[in-house]
Chains A and B, each alone.
Chain A
């Protein structure tokens, strides 16, 4: 099943995929562009992974000081930074390098504490697509990547669908790609994750309790390029979804 959360007709609804678009829980069938898409579930703690694909680690190697055998580089985001499918993301006028990151998002369905790798996948409710923007101009070397780079309003896009785990045969064999204005700029495959999904659940649940609705953004492969105001950025993961986002400028937000 593919599930979504949308705003329509003055309320927030749960919806499922339908041949013409989506169907609300009350039976109404609607086109994709008739609703406002929200992140597809009630989001709890957002845990993101940095440098979890070897090729992306190499791409950033000039500025990276992490070795292959270090523990996963995990950081947190707050749910306030999230927006849904077909949303707008603000590019500040003073930014010189703002890039997308297409990532497989793993949604926790069952509480997880000290879960061994062999049992980890039972705790997964499903998967969605994340586009986790970063603005490198604001990087500082304290708790890097700092929240001003990674936890900005509108800069974490999630959706469109939460795809049930039972419907994904192998989450470690999914092609990812990003298209900017229709041109492919990033390609990868989840088989190249350095710490795979059970490894991440084992690592994280070893020191913190994961709860239903918590989500792990598993990292991005190489191919991050700057985006500009007006660009349409599409993040695709095979079998999971096609997440559309548009970059907008300061003027829409009343910032001169």
Chain B
């Protein structure tokens, strides 16, 4: 993405049929997104999307003693990031294909930090001033046991990164480190977590990442998923809900379109 800046009054979203993403009151987008006969949405931003591995205290705890054994040898020191490339981006209520070669996929629910102004070597104290807003990300993976090698085949399938429905302006979210995150499958809640369990909270994460890598307006940094990511199959409807940020719905479909 080029230079510039991304500033949001309240909430930025891009429903199908609209020419561009539009800034509107949160209530308008949440009503449209909740309307089951309403449109699907495009991803609200198109920058680079980064995930953070094992940034949730429960997720690191779940790795347990494995973290000190081979092949990892030690727990992560710096933020361990991964990239969800552009072929993975999808929007609210856009169907995502479960590949024919796997029975189910893993649902990773996480808060996404959306960058507003170019952020290079920022410090924790002023880190939030570089944030345009927050969004909901469903970081879908094919289940895999090892984090040793990058796993494009597991994490980078087409559509495997639903984002949205909207980016909610920073000022509308009083504390990004105190949000409830819930995953539902076919209407039943299967996981609840909280962003106050982050090893690197939002400002600290931004500071440590931008020490070596500049983030640009429209880029999204996922804070990280909790332990025990649930799995879902084709034919199921997955929602990720974050207090005050949004409810992101993803219908999973089979490769043959059913």
Q: Which residues on the A side are within 8 Å of B153 (C-beta)?
A: 71, 207
Partner of B86, one of A45, A142, A147, A151: A45
Partner of B80, one of A65, A73, A146, A211: A146
In the complex, B248 has a CB within 8 A of chain A: no
In the complex, A16 has a CB within 8 A of chain B: no
Contact between chains at A140 and B212 (CB < 8 Å): no
Number of contacts between A and B (CB, 8 Å)?
109
Contact between chains at A81 and B80 (CB < 8 Å): no
In the complex, B103 has a CB within 8 A of chain A: no
Among B41-63, those with CB < 8 Å from A are: 48, 50, 53-54
Closest to A253 in B: B121
Report the minimum CB–CB distance from B19 to chain A (whole Å): 22
In the complex, B152 has a CB within 8 A of chain A: yes
Partner of B156, one of A76, A148, A152, A211: A76
Which one of B7-15, B28-36, B142-150 is at the interface?
B142-150
Known contacts A78-B50, A153-B212; is-contact A208 B85 (Cβ 8 Å):
yes
Report Cα–Cα, A77/B150, bound state, in Å: 11
Which of B74, B99, B149 has the most A CB atoms < 10 Å from its CB? B149
Q: Which residues on the B side are within 8 Å of A77 (C-beta)?
A: 83
Report the minimum CB–CB distance from A254 to chain B (whole Å): 9
Report Cα–Cα, A80/B152, bound state, in Å: 19
Among A93-121, those with CB < 8 Å from B are: 113
Contact between chains at A143 and B213 (CB < 8 Å): no
In the complex, B87 has a CB within 8 A of chain A: yes
In the complex, B157 has a CB within 8 A of chain A: yes
Closest to A78 in B: B48
Contact between chains at B78 and A138 (CB < 8 Å): yes
In the complex, B120 has a CB within 8 A of chain A: yes
In the complex, A141 has a CB within 8 A of chain B: yes
In the complex, A30 has a CB within 8 A of chain B: no
Which of A77, A79, A208, A210 has the most B CB atoms < 10 Å from its CB? A208
In the complex, A179 has a CB within 8 A of chain B: no
Report the minimum CB–CB distance from B219 to chain A (whole Å): 8
Contact between chains at A141 and B85 (CB < 8 Å): no
Contact between chains at B85 and A80 (CB < 8 Å): no
Q: Which residues on the B side are within 8 Å of A209 (C-beta)?
A: 87, 158
Contact between chains at A73 and B149 (CB < 8 Å): yes
Known contacts A74-B150, A141-B73, A207-B152; is-contact A81 B78 (Cβ 8 Å):
no
Report the minimum CB–CB distance from A91 to chain B (whole Å): 13
Interface 1/0s, chain B 63-87, versus A by CB < 8 A? 0000000011110111111110111
Closest to A71 in B: B153
Report the minimum CB–CB distance from A39 to chain B (whole Å): 13
Partner of B213, one of A44, A47, A141, A152: A152
**A-B pairs with the 9 shortest C-beta distances?**
A75-B150, A45-B85, A76-B83, A142-B80, A147-B81, A78-B48, A141-B72, A209-B87, A143-B150
17 more A-B contacts (CB under 8 A) besides A142-B54, A146-B78?
A45-B85, A47-B152, A65-B71, A73-B150, A76-B150, A80-B214, A140-B78, A142-B53, A143-B147, A145-B150, A148-B78, A148-B212, A151-B81, A207-B152, A208-B158, A209-B87, A209-B158
Q: Which residues of A contact B (CB under 8 A)?
A: 44-45, 47, 65, 71, 73-81, 113, 138, 140-148, 151-153, 204, 207-211
Q: Which residues of B contact A (CB under 8 A)?
A: 48, 50, 53-54, 71-74, 76-83, 85-88, 99, 120, 147-153, 156-158, 212-216, 219
Q: List 20 A-B contacts (CB under 8 A).
A: A45-B86, A76-B83, A76-B150, A76-B156, A77-B83, A80-B214, A80-B219, A138-B212, A143-B53, A143-B81, A146-B80, A146-B81, A147-B50, A148-B78, A148-B81, A207-B99, A207-B153, A208-B85, A208-B158, A211-B86
